[in-house]
Amino acid sequence: MADFLMVFKSPPPLQRRAATATASPQPPAITTASPSQVRQNYHQDSEAAINHQINLELYASYFYLSMSYYFDCDDVALKNFAKYFLHQSHEEREHAEKLMKLQNQWGGRIFLQDIKKPDRDDWENGLNAMECVLHLEKV
């Protein structure tokens, strides 16, 4: 038990270092993303299309998440709708993550955009929500 407690002892107090005349190194300047060195036969239009799809998947995830927590509210209480939409949100996010991983593997750069808020916060009922989902999935 004593050995166990010794492991979790607090570290000794830090000692102050004397100030030196040399200045600390400055962080590098922020630059724009340069093309990847591993990029081979990966057209910029393909990279842009993948980035666009990533952003659409993240928007869909956000959309489903909004629905999930709307239906999880006490005054709505449609728990199975909430569960279904939460599952869909996770699935859409996973799609985005897979595309981001592929983008990196192919030597592309990931450019995320702001995620637009869903057009509404009140999904009214299950039928209306499903109609909104149908429209979302068609786009």
Measured in degrees and rounded to the nearest 5, phi and psi for residue 87 equal -60, -45
137 is annotated as contributing to ligand binding:
yes
52 is annotated as contributing to ligand binding:
no
92 is annotated as contributing to ligand binding:
yes
131 is annotated as contributing to ligand binding:
no
* Measured distance CA(4)–CA(80) in Å, rounded: 47
36: left (phi over 0), alpha (psi -120 to 50) or beta: beta
* Measured distance CA(21)–CA(34) in Å, rounded: 35
| Tokens standing for residue 68 | 């999930």
**Which residues belong to the annotated binding site for Fe cation?**
57, 92, 95, 137
**Which residues belong to the annotated binding site?**
57, 92, 95, 137
